[in-house]
């Protein structure tokens, strides 16, 4: 299984989208500062993920979610999350 995930930084409240074959381990890597691109923005909360059988499908979805259309999709899908988020 491959996972596309969206994290929210509790420090700057920005989103980070990525993919991994081991979601739990990857989340721990982000929160423990082992990922260079995110180590200064931790801690992170997992706010969304999707599972795929093939890596190519996961990477294509990750690429899509990083576009404006993908961000709009997340806003619509997580509508109630954004309403409750302070």
pLDDT of residue 48: 96
pLDDT of residue 85: 65
The predicted model scores a pTM of 0.92
pLDDT of residue 57: 98
pLDDT of residue 82: 76
pLDDT of residue 12: 93
Q: Report the CATH number at residue 30.
A: 3.40.1440
pLDDT of residue 86: 56
Domain span at residue 17 reads: 2-84
CA separation, residue 62 to residues 32, 57, 73, 80, 85 (Å): 22, 9, 12, 22, 23
Nearest Cα to Cα of residue 79 among 58, 48, 51: 48
Q: Give the number of domains in the chain.
A: 1
Tell me the average confidence (pLDDT) per consecutive run of 10 residues in the chain, 86 residues long. 97 95 97 95 96 98 98 92 72
């Amino acid at each position: 299984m491959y996972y596309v995930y969206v994290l929210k930084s509790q420090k700057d409240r920005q989103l980070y989208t990525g993919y991994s074959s081991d979601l739990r381990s990857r989340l721990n890597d982000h929160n423990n500062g082992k990922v260079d691109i995110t180590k200064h923005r931790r801690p992170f909360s997992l706010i969304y993920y999707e599972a795929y059988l093939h890596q190519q499908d996961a990477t294509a979805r990750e690429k899509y979610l990083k576009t404006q259309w993908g961000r709009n999709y997340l806003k619509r899908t997580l509508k109630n999350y954004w309403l409750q988020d302070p």
